Amino acid sequence: MTDQPSAAHPPTVHPPTALDPVVQESTPSIIARSLRRAIASGDFPPGAQLGEAALAKQLGVSRGPLREAMQRLTQEGLLVSHRNRGLFVPELTPDAVADMYVLRTTIERAAIERVLAAGDRLACADRLDAAVARMAALSEQADSTDMVAADLDFHRALVEAAGSERLSRIHETVVVETSMCLRAMSSTYGPAEDRVTEHRELADAIRAGELVPAITALQAHMSDGLQRLTATAATSPE
C-alpha cells in the first residue's frame, strides 16, 4: 500500500524565499580575479612575464589552481604563451587597441539598447551619475590613476544594468585591456573635464530614455579615446 499523507498531518509547504543558494567560489576563480586586478592596475604591465613559481609563492597557493587560473586568462587574451619562454602580459598594438574599442562599443551599445528597451533606466542613470560625480571629484588630481578607475567603473555599471551575465563577462576582459592601455599611456587620457562632460552626456541621455543621443554620445566618446591612444602609440619611440 502506498503511504498517503494523513489529513491530520498535511505535507509541509515551504514558502518562497528571497535567499539565493550560497555558491562557493573556486580557488582558480579567486586567483584569476586577483590576476585580472593586478594586470588592470599595472602591477603586471604589457610585456611582463608571469613566473609560475614566484606567483604561487606570492599568492600562497599551490601551482595547480594557479596554472588553471593562468589558463583562463590565456583564453581571455589577458596572457599570451610564448613557446619555451612562458606566459606574458600581451603588448597592445594599435590594431589590437582598435579591435578592443570596436568590441567595447558593440557591447556597450547593446547594453544601452537593452536598458532603454526593457531595463530600469532610472536606476542605471543613478549609478552612472554616481560614477560621474566621482570622476568630477577626482578631476583636480594630477595622477590620473583613480580617474581612470572611476571612468571604467562608469562603463561597467552601464553594462551591468543590461542584466546580461555574458555581456558583462566579455566586457570585463575588454575593460581590463583598456585599463592596461590607459595606464601604460597615461598622457593620452586628456583633460579630465572633457571626460567628465562626455560621461555626463551619456548618463543624461539614458536618464531621458533617448536612444539615439545615448548611442551618439557613446560612439563619440569611444572614437575620441581610440584616436588618442592610437596617435600616441604611433608616435612613441620603439
* pLDDT at residue 198 in the model: 94
Looking at residue 190, the DSSP 8-state letter turns out to be -
Please, which pLDDT band fits residue 45 given cuts at 50, 70 and 90?
confident
Mean pLDDT, rounded, of the chain: 85
pTM for the model: 0.76
* pLDDT at residue 238 in the model: 46
Give the DSSP H or E segment for 231. Answer: helix 211-235
Please, which pLDDT band fits residue 214 given cuts at 50, 70 and 90?
very high
> 89 CB contacts (<8 Å, ≥6 apart)?
39, 44, 45, 46, 47, 48, 50, 78, 79, 80, 180
Topology, domain 94-233: Four Helix Bundle (Hemerythrin (Met), subunit A) (1.20.120)
Looking at residue 7, the DSSP 8-state letter turns out to be S
* Segment 182-210, tens digit of pLDDT: 776 666 666 788 889 999 999 999 999 99
Quickly count helices (H) and strands (E) in the chain: 9, 3
* pLDDT at residue 91 in the model: 85
CATH of domain 27-88: 1.10.10.10
Residue span(s) of the chain under CATH 1.20.120.530 come to 94-233
> 155 CB contacts (<8 Å, ≥6 apart)?
104, 108, 171, 175
Residue span(s) of the chain under CATH 1.10.10.10 come to 27-88
